[in-house]
Amino acid sequence: QRQMCIRDRFIYSFSMGITPGPNNIIALSTGVNYGFKKALPFAFGVIVGFNLLIAALGFGIGGIIANNNQLMDLLAFVAVGFITFMGFKIASSPTEIKDGNNDNPGFIYGVFLQLINPKAWTSSLGAIAAFNLAGNNIGILLYMLISVFVVFFCIVFWAYAGSKITRFLSNKTKHRIFNLLMGGSLILLAAYLFFMKI
């Protein structure tokens, strides 16, 4: 039963981590525009931010926020603004990799995005509810340990894929179209979240 429970947590964490969302779109785009190594600080930020969110929700601190509609609405609008900002940032990214360019999303971006990312909140709250983690210190720590490895694999996979896609973007026009599509998808996601809240 314990092994099945751990397996189920891996499956749940992987299914939430590997599917497209703000984290993976940004990691993919960063890999394309800045190279794999430049995407790693953002990936580590995602891991830290996501586990901080799980800890806050699981140990009860985040429950106060989750049960406060006004605070959740505020977080939603902050998320809309931040995701829109990231969308424009990606859409206007350079069309060639510049090793000296430090304008790529880094560690702080990764951490902050998790605290307002609707998908991260949904994933965390879903895990806490599905696996009865609320108040279960060992269970929360186990899930955090699992998520470190799973989220790291997923986000690094997307960043690595982005670094390999670059070879197919052989000219500036193709590269610009890719950036516009990725940035536009984030802006559309932000617009969807906005209209869901008004």
The pLDDT score that the predictor gives to residue 3 is: 46
Please name the residues in contact with 193: beta carbons below 8 A apart, sequence gap of 6 or more: 76, 79, 80, 83, 118
Are 79 and 188 contacting, i.e. CB atoms less than 8 angstroms apart?
no
Question: Around Cβ 29, how many Cβ atoms within 10 Å?
Answer: 30
- pTM of structure: 0.79
For residue 59, what pLDDT band results from cuts at 50, 70 and 90? confident
Nearest to 74 by CA among 83, 62, 84, 65: 65
Q: Which of the 8 DSSP states describes residue 34?
A: H
The pLDDT tens digits for 144-180 are 999 999 999 999 999 999 999 888 877 788 888 888 9
Compute the distance between CA of residue 56 and CA of residue 163 in angstroms, rounded to an integer. Answer: 33
The pLDDT tens digits for 112-126 are 999 888 888 888 888
pLDDT at 75 > cutoff 90:
no
Are 17 and 150 contacting, i.e. CB atoms less than 8 angstroms apart?
yes
Helices (H), the chain: 2-18, 22-34, 36-58, 61-66, 69-91, 107-116, 118-130, 137-165, 172-197
Structure tokens at 3: 């092994």
The pLDDT score that the predictor gives to residue 150 is: 94
The pLDDT score that the predictor gives to residue 40 is: 94
Structure tokens at 114: 């998790």
* Angle, helices 107-116/118-130, rounded to nearest 10 degrees: 60
The pLDDT score that the predictor gives to residue 109 is: 92
